[in-house]
Structure 1
Amino acid sequence: MEASPVTDMKISSVVPASMTGENKPRHLTAMDLAVKLHYVRAVYFFKGTRDFTIVDLKNITFPLLDLPCYDHVTGRIRLLGNKNPSAQAIPYIRCNDSGMRIVEAKVEGFTVQEWLDLDDRSIDHRFLVYDHVLGPDLLYSPLVYLQITHFKCGGLSVGLSWAHVLGDVVSASTFMKTMGQLMSTRGPSKPVYPKKPELTPHANGQVDDDGQAISIKKVESVGEYWLLSNKCKMGRFNIKFSLEQIDRLMAKYQSSSEVDILYALIWSSILNIRGEKDTNVITICDRKTSSTCWNDDLVISVVERKDEMTEVSELAGLIANERKEENGVIKGMIEKDRGYSDFITYGANLTFVNLDMCDELEIKGEKPDFVNYTIHGVGDKGVVLVFPKGKFARAVSVVMPEEELAKLKIEVNNMIM
């Protein structure tokens, strides 16, 4: 699908329901700066009639943004002078300085079911999530867009574009879950909202000032346009593993977890495509168990391939037993850098993200019929997102150079036959 089927787009702003101080800063941690060029994008689909309206969705954002844990969501990036005159200014978020953008749109040519029947799932993020990044007018760029799209016959989608500098994929899913809780709350019972993180200088582990992280990559300065320029055209596609296929894989590789097997299967497939030199190291993004909305709960690890290992069982064993966490080294590198350089995390190496901890959205007892996540602004090595297991299948979303996608489909199909 080349031409956009989306029409009648209208953009408005929402702000917290009550007045809060505008000049309150939220200082960015080293982990925030490691992911500042990345964006989380999600689309939630609801078929047919529902017990809530678009007006309900818009109205609930006012009390949502009023929660203390989300005062930074309505902020904008500001720049603090750096003591090093040759370095860039250090960015921070000035809370409640912008509001959140709401986009209303229509897709009149499809029902939700007809849309979901299409094979190309990249269209979800191309057309149903507002294409927003921070910059080039950095100081005037909102951090969050929410696109609500009407479909034919009453269905709708809710598309979230979330600057990763606010928090990771789990943080974004918790934001949406909290919105659903607010809409669903009746009577005296209160939902449990995310905690507001305590910002400490060295949160989430010790800082290593001497090491060099291999999970992140320094890139050419992007200035005030926070988006990576790729050397090749990147593409997206989703792979569905049926429960029968998952059971066969688990029976074949009994000593490994389901997620590790899927990581290893994709890693082995890409090794066959790219050769050994480009894919000897992978990055794995996990998360500490926490309900905070920030990036310091991310756990970033690397796994280095040994010798001639290419078999799924061997790679799964490495993933399970040989991960090296790099949070401390990342913090040491970025804090020592003092804001002079720009880095990427997703796609610096082939990167795997486990979405099992993502919260489910539920609005007045209704769950989405389908949810699709991706990461925008990924480096050329690509990213693989492993979705939670559904009733009938487990999905894997891949972002990688477009020229490799067809080859990857063939490799994966050969391995699961």
Structure 2
Amino acid sequence: MEITIVSRETIKPSSQTPHHLKTLKLSLFDQLAPRIYNPLIFFYSVSTNDPLELLNKTNQLKNSLSETLTSFYPLAGIENDDQISLDCNDEGAFYLEARVNHDMLEFLKPAPKLELVNKLLPCQPYTIIPNPTLVPQVAIQVNFFECGGIAIGMCFLHTLLDVISMAAFLTSWAATSCKSSNENPSPEFVTASTLFPLQDVSDTNIRSYAAKMFKENEQIPTRRFVFDAQAIESLKAMAKCESIHNSSRYEALTTFIWKCVITSFWKAPHGEMRSSMTAHMVDMRRRLQEPLSKYSMGNIVFTAHGVYEGNERKIDTKELIGIVKQLVSEVDSDFLTSLQGESGFLGLEEILMLLNEVMEQEKPFLFWFTSWCNLGLNDLDFGWGQPIWVGFKGGNGRSIVDQAVPNRHNKG
């Protein structure tokens, strides 16, 4: 499959950012976010090769992106040298267009060709950016297949965007593109830094833990597994016991995946029985004492951890799901209140000091879960219907520590 870049440009906001909004202070969790690009890619079945129609579609995308960047103005800026603020200078988003000498449905069926997916992205995902002051917050690559299908590859710098913020931006962009009045967002950028103010983290347990997120010298393969509704109901049934009457689909699925990871690790050549740590990204917005809108922008997520000791070869599913339920439930409004302000930073330091001790002494293998379910990604309509598949990366490459990304299965 050959991909030819046919144009490169920068899309600037349709209106200039007011002077009093030119500098945006980051929050503590923005400060700690790795400077990497998070990827997303949407495939749309658009059966046309008419040059005029394609021109109209790409103009529609660019114009609506420009309008959306006016509301989400920090995403058109760059990180300042101080690494604690953004310069909202209307620099813009990087925008590429490419031609693909392949049929999109052949690319996607019988299963997406994951080894080629990264070619449809504008940059290499999950690679540490050595100087984030030189790169855009948002990069887009619009790929036109021979059949007329379109794949929109996107990369978002993690500085200000967790997956909820990414989804909020995309929902607004899609609504603007297809001129929908159903979504009239008012993105908000200061609450995160108010609740979780910046701190000096140059020599802390927080930095030590953050460094463990990456496997710098490992090539991590991407695999895709599809679970239908019946399979997930079976997993929920398997987890039932006296103490656990009902589990969510997410809890049942992630527990099953975690169990498979532990099993494969123990059965691998030179595998050994040792504890396993799981980490789940939990959205803090809806768990705060005063819940925030999905348009509260920033890295407003907390990483909740749990450990399975692994003393026996027989892995207890019910024990695993109990761990998952507990670690997620503990991220409640009282806990999140305790993390706010100066004293909150000290509390976070203490939590991560304990995690560092566990990781150094027990050397558990760590597996992350980040859910993309219920974010509306599968419904994004830029004017030509919902995507037939949503992916995020492919091939073998660097990544944050071993992770699974549950997402709702697309139609078609």
Query: What TM-score do you get using the length of structure 2 for normalisation?
Result: 0.75
Task: Give the aligned partner of residue 57 of structure 1.
Answer: 61
In the superposition, relative to structure 1, how do residues 170 and 55 fare at CA in structure 2: closer, same or farther (>3 Å)?
A: same
In the superposition, relative to structure 1, how do residues 215 and 315 fare at CA in structure 2: closer, same or farther (>3 Å)?
A: farther
**Kept in 1: contact 2:226–2:409 (CA 8 A):** no
In the superposition, relative to structure 1, how do residues 170 and 318 fare at CA in structure 2: closer, same or farther (>3 Å)?
A: same
Q: Distance in 2 between matches of 1:169 and 1:199?
A: 17
Task: Give the aligned partner of residue 370 of structure 2.
Answer: 353
Aligned mate of 2:104, from 112, 120, 127: 112
Task: Give the aligned partner of residue 177 of structure 1.
Answer: 171
Q: Distance in 1 between matches of 2:273 and 2:29?
A: 28
Task: Give the aligned partner of residue 259 of structure 1.
Answer: 250
Deviation at 1:322, TM superposition (A): 4.0
Q: Distance in 2 between matches of 1:145 and 1:278?
A: 41
Give the alignment of 1:119-198 within 5 angstroms. 119=111, 121-123=113-115, 125-132=117-124, 135-185=129-179, 189=181, 191-198=183-190
Q: Distance in 1 between matches of 2:206 and 2:23?
A: 31
Aligned mate of 1:378, from 368, 388, 399: 399
In the superposition, relative to structure 1, how do residues 124 and 332 fare at CA in structure 2: closer, same or farther (>3 Å)?
A: farther
Q: Distance in 2 between matches of 1:200 and 1:242?
A: 37
In the superposition, relative to structure 1, how do residues 262 and 71 fare at CA in structure 2: closer, same or farther (>3 Å)?
A: same
The answer to whether the aligner puts 1:298 opposite 2:284 as a matched pair is: no
Equivalent residue letter for 1:217: Y
- Superposed CA deviations along residues 273-323 of structure 1, whole A, max 9, x for unmatched, are 224766521110021333225334313211122564722232112211244
Deviation at 1:358, TM superposition (A): 1.4
Aligned mate of 1:311, from 297, 310, 316: 316
Which structure shows the bigger proportion of residues in helix conformation? 2
Give the alignment of 1:234-253 within 5 angstroms. 234-253=220-239
In the superposition, relative to structure 1, how do residues 200 and 299 fare at CA in structure 2: closer, same or farther (>3 Å)?
A: closer
In the superposition, relative to structure 1, how do residues 60 and 294 fare at CA in structure 2: closer, same or farther (>3 Å)?
A: same
**Kept in 1: contact 2:276–2:310 (CA 8 A):** no
Q: State the secondary structure of the residue aligned to 1:274.
A: helix
Q: Distance in 2 between matches of 1:374 and 1:215?
A: 26
Q: CA RMSD in A?
A: 3.6
**Kept in 1: contact 2:187–2:295 (CA 8 A):** yes
Q: Distance in 2 between matches of 1:362 and 1:241?
A: 25
Q: Distance in 1 between matches of 2:140 and 2:389?
A: 17
**Kept in 1: contact 2:36–2:128 (CA 8 A):** no
**Kept in 2: contact 1:16–1:63 (CA 8 A):** yes
Give the alignment of 1:263-274 within 5 angstroms. 263-274=254-265
**Kept in 2: contact 1:130–1:145 (CA 8 A):** yes
Task: Give the aligned partner of residue 217 of structure 1.
Answer: 209
Aligned mate of 1:332, from 342, 345, 356: 345
Q: Distance in 1 between matches of 2:160 and 2:45?
A: 30
Equivalent residue letter for 2:280: I
Equivalent residue letter for 1:159: G
The answer to whether the aligner puts 1:362 opposite 2:381 as a matched pair is: yes
Task: Give the aligned partner of residue 269 of structure 2.
Answer: none
Q: Distance in 2 between matches of 1:160 and 1:214?
A: 29
In the superposition, relative to structure 1, how do residues 121 and 321 fare at CA in structure 2: closer, same or farther (>3 Å)?
A: farther
Q: State the secondary structure of the residue aligned to 1:362.
A: coil
- Superposed CA deviations along residues 36-94 of structure 1, whole A, max 9, x for unmatched, are 23432111111133786122111211111111xx11101111122xxxxxxxxx44211
Task: Give the aligned partner of residue 400 of structure 1.
Answer: none
**Kept in 1: contact 2:251–2:321 (CA 8 A):** yes
Deviation at 1:124, TM superposition (A): 5.6
Unpaired stretches in structure 2, ≥5 consecutive residues: 241-245, 267-271, 287-292, 350-355, 357-363
**Kept in 1: contact 2:29–2:196 (CA 8 A):** no
In the superposition, relative to structure 1, how do residues 73 and 357 fare at CA in structure 2: closer, same or farther (>3 Å)?
A: same
Q: Distance in 1 between matches of 2:4 and 2:404?
A: 31
Q: Distance in 1 between matches of 2:294 and 2:316?
A: 37
Give the alignment of 1:64-83 within 5 angstroms. 64-67=68-71, 70-80=72-82
Sequence identity (%): 17
